[in-house]
Amino acid sequence: MPSSGLMHRIVNRVAPKSWPDFVVKWLLFELAINLVNLTVERLVRPEAGFDPTSQILVTVIVSTPFLVFALAVMSHQYRLQCRLANLAATDLLTGLSNRGDFLERASMASVAGQGGALLLVDADHFKRINDTYGHAIGDLCLQAIAGRMRKLVRSGDIVGRFGGEEFAVFLPKATPDMARAVGERICEGVKIPVPKEGTEVQITLSVGATPVRAADSIEKMLTLADAALYRAKEMGRARIEFASIEGRAVF
């Protein structure tokens, strides 16, 4: 594992990220190789006269194919690492952040933005949709929910899928009015056409919300949001409820 981590860092540092970067790194490596070659030549044969220009030309001709190949391999490896990292952080069905990635990003955004609002979202009666129309329609509903939530948030907000029909949203620096407005619009849900049935499925969502301070653990605040979500379900669904935290403004 340590060697794998070292190789990962080397690839991140050395691999060209673009064509201009490729050229720059090729030139830097050529410079280093030529400096080493000229230094060794001076140390090994100090009495022999040699032409530096010829030495540099020969070194460049010989080393360029190997350098280009090595940098191309590094670049390919870097793209693979990025792709794997993205796959590890993404929910494959919806394209949203998965639970682990959401928690990490929300924690960093909370500290950077001095808090915000956390919304925990759950689709209402989702099992009924799967049982009635099948999992393919259920998956379309989840994708539609993810798409709608993306449209309702700002570019810096974080949306994730925790699994099943449960989602989460973190709104950095959110005001009470902003959190409520986003939550209420999420509750409206989505409509999905069912081609074979000649009808459409309408699915609403319930939301539990809580304010978050920079010092708060996102994991802990999820517990409070979950309790608020449970209360929203008990009170009729398709609504937003807020966690009551002593000493803090309730949205």
Q: What does pTM read for this prediction? A: 0.72
Given 59, 89, 119, the domain boundary residue is 89
Domain for residue 247, yes or no?
A: no
Task: Give which of 170, 156, 215, 208 is closest to 187, Cα–Cα.
Answer: 208
Domain match, 55 and 123 both: no
pLDDT confidence bin for 224, thresholds 50/70/90: very high
Number of domains in the chain: 2
Domain for residue 42, yes or no?
A: yes
Residue 128's domain is classified under what CATH number?
A: 3.30.70.270
Domain for residue 250, yes or no?
A: no
Structure tokens at 212: 């978050």
Give the span between the Cα atoms of 194 and 215, in whole angstroms: 46
Given 43, 66, 89, the domain boundary residue is 89
Beta-strand relationship, 116-123 and 205-212: antiparallel
Could you tell me how far CA 102 lies from the centroid of its own chain? Answer: 8
Domain match, 126 and 59 both: no
pLDDT the model gives residue 250 = 54
Are 168 and 118 in contact, with CB atoms under 8 Å apart?
A: yes
3-state secondary structure of 207: strand
Per-residue pLDDT of 65-115, as tens digits, reads 999 999 998 888 888 877 776 767 799 899 999 999 999 999 999 988 888
Per-residue pLDDT of 5-42, as tens digits, reads 777 788 888 888 888 999 999 999 999 998 988 888 77
Are 70 and 76 in contact, with CB atoms under 8 Å apart?
A: no
Domain match, 76 and 134 both: no
> Helices marked H in the chain — which ranges?
2-14, 19-44, 52-89, 99-113, 126-133, 135-152, 176-187, 218-234
Catalytic entry in 47, 165, 219, 246: 165
Domain for residue 158, yes or no?
A: yes
Domain match, 83 and 144 both: no
Q: For residue 37, what are the domain limits?
A: 2-89
Angle at 214 between CA 107 and CA 224, to 5 degrees: 75
Domain for residue 84, yes or no?
A: yes
Give the span between the Cα atoms of 32 and 70, in whole angstroms: 15
How is residue 98 annotated by DSSP?
-
User: Is 104 one of the annotated active-site residues of the chain?
Assistant: no
Given 66, 89, 112, the domain boundary residue is 89
Structure tokens at 152: 């309702």
Domain match, 110 and 37 both: no
Residues near 41 by beta carbon (within 8 Å), at least 6 away in sequence: 50, 55
Domain for residue 61, yes or no?
A: yes
Domain match, 124 and 233 both: yes
Give the span between the Cα atoms of 33 and 200, in whole angstroms: 67
- Please give the mean pLDDT across all residues of the chain: 88
> Does pLDDT of 197 surpass 90?
no
Domain match, 107 and 70 both: no
Domain match, 73 and 107 both: no
